[in-house]
Structure 1
Amino acid sequence: MTGPSATFGFRDVDAAEKPSLVRGVFDRVAGRYDLMNDLMSAGVHRLWKDAVAARLNPQPGETIVDCAGGTGDMARRFARMARRVQERRGGPDAKIFVVDYNAEMIAAGIERGGMPEICWSVGDAQRLPLPDASADAYVISFGIRNVTDISAALREARRVLKPGGRFLCLEFSRPVTGALRAAYDAYSFKVIPEIGARVANDRESYQYLVESIRRFPDQKTFADMIRAAGFSQVGWTNYSGGVAALHTGRAI
């Protein structure tokens, strides 16, 4: 490597090479991404996402950035929730910007059907196609570990948020007990790549996804990174014993 490095699973690669490697993974998994999430987590990812949406509590008229939003799984939740509030008390439509680096994931989301509140865009988490201080909330779900420079993505989230704007990041994290970590490691490395091989005919991509989870910072380390990017009121909530965690903060 001649320049800065970045993680790609258990490998360290040239930072300039990582975006194309990650794009290749998601090009391959886009068509069965939602099905694979259901199989790998036995549907538990839906409960985690519901909890994140409830924590966000989207309101009519709000501008929400769903970064690395892929197939729109989260954006549809936000739109439905804001619409229910709108039906009770009125107000303008919420605006939900789904931004994802991978065009195949965006295409899969659009194919599933849109909602008037949702706008789709191919874009980079490190260089969002949005003006400064334009969003009421920024959400990224199971996407930040795939960016080349996590700190740069966090600073970009801070840039697009209005003062006081909400930051929510749902990501796989560190199980809180040794026994749970051991069980989770055994499941992740033995079962998930096998599911990928049998259902999606793609063991390699799911091996990368498992490895990328292990290289991601633990809860405290990631919280410190969020604070360093300019957020206040930083905290986290563990889901399923820390298998996943929701990190939150407020733009200063």
Structure 2
Amino acid sequence: MPDTVSFGYEDVAPEEKTARVRGVFSNVAAKYDLMNDAMSGGLHRVWKDAFVRRVKPRAGEHILDMAGGTGDIAFRMAESGASITVADINPEMLAVGIERAAERGRANGRKPDIGSLVWSEANAETLQWPDRFFDAYTIAFGIRNVTDIPAALREAHRVLKRGGRFFCLEFSTNVWPGFAQVYDAYSHHVVPKLGKLLANDEDSYRYLIESIRRFPDMPSFQRMIGEAGFVQTRVEPMLGGLVAIHSGWKV
């Protein structure tokens, strides 16, 4: 790992980024899903639905949903009958997801864990599960917050079974002329103000936007996935690369 890594537009020591990212998500956990709606106009729901359709979870599979604390992806995948381990480095985010699962259980007369969800605090760079344990690994809007992204990708590869699949949904670099400039202005000037209005936290949302700008572009990230050992890597941009689904296979 290099001596410094990006925290938004700052370059900081790796251990400082890890601590500061924890702080960001501790601050925003309670309002995280509300802010996702406000920032994307509800489009994040469409993107997540498309993402889960690409994953194609199946009954009997064991899937690791990394950085999935609030449960948005896990709840969608659990409908297939797959067993989902929801992992997140931040306990406050997990607490939100567990409470949401309990509310769903009460509403549907089911057990609080929906019968197929397990919640686990975990660091993407040093996973506690053994080699070749999961059928699929998903991470949605989380990989850019990892301190050592190559290490996290190698860990994803390690815990997947042979034939296992990796899927990542993440903001990326928009390549549509005109739209990219409009979105850039909106995200830098409007989103932090929304953060202050809805979550009383302008700084955390400014970081979240800056972290998107510092994240590798689509070809670079696809190459990183291949360097971690995955094959048949693929990138599927949406809205001109505003977000993208990256995927690969372990053989």
Where on the TM-score scale, by shorter chain, does this alignment land: which range? over 0.9
Following TM superposition, by how much is the alpha carbon of 1:95 offset from its aligned partner in structure 2, in angstroms? Answer: 1.5
Percent identity over the alignment is 54
Identify the residue that residue 193 of structure 1 maps to in structure 2.
192
Identify the residue that residue 119 of structure 2 maps to in structure 1.
120
Identify the residue that residue 18 of structure 2 maps to in structure 1.
19
Pick from 90, 95, 98: which aligns with 1:102?
90
RMSD between aligned residues:
0.9
* Structure 1: segments with no counterpart, 5+ residues: 84-93
| Structure 1 CA distance for aligned equivalents of residues 21 and 177 of structure 2 | 30
Partner letter of residue 112 of structure 1?
Answer: R
Identify the residue that residue 218 of structure 2 maps to in structure 1.
219
| Structure 1 CA distance for aligned equivalents of residues 176 and 239 of structure 2 | 11
Following TM superposition, by how much is the alpha carbon of 1:225 offset from its aligned partner in structure 2, in angstroms? Answer: 0.3
| Structure 2 CA distance for aligned equivalents of residues 116 and 4 of structure 1 | 44
Partner letter of residue 109 of structure 1?
Answer: G
Secondary structure at 2:15 match in 1: coil
Following TM superposition, by how much is the alpha carbon of 1:38 offset from its aligned partner in structure 2, in angstroms? Answer: 0.6
| Structure 2 CA distance for aligned equivalents of residues 127 and 95 of structure 1 | 21
| Structure 2 CA distance for aligned equivalents of residues 230 and 61 of structure 1 | 25
| Structure 1 CA distance for aligned equivalents of residues 177 and 5 of structure 2 | 28
Secondary structure at 1:4 match in 2: coil
Q: Residue 56 in 1 paired to residue 55 in 2?
A: yes
Partner letter of residue 99 of structure 2?
Answer: E
Q: Residue 162 in 1 paired to residue 197 in 2?
A: no
Identify the residue that residue 109 of structure 2 maps to in structure 1.
none
Deviation sequence 1:94-114 (CA, Å, 0-9, x none) = 211111000000001101123
User: What's the TM-score, normalizing by structure 1?
Assistant: 0.93
User: What's the TM-score, normalizing by structure 2?
Assistant: 0.94
Following TM superposition, by how much is the alpha carbon of 1:178 offset from its aligned partner in structure 2, in angstroms? Answer: 3.1
Identify the residue that residue 132 of structure 1 maps to in structure 2.
131
Partner letter of residue 100 of structure 1?
Answer: D
| Structure 2 CA distance for aligned equivalents of residues 116 and 6 of structure 1 | 39
Identify the residue that residue 90 of structure 1 maps to in structure 2.
none
* Structure 2: segments with no counterpart, 5+ residues: 102-112
Identify the residue that residue 108 of structure 2 maps to in structure 1.
none
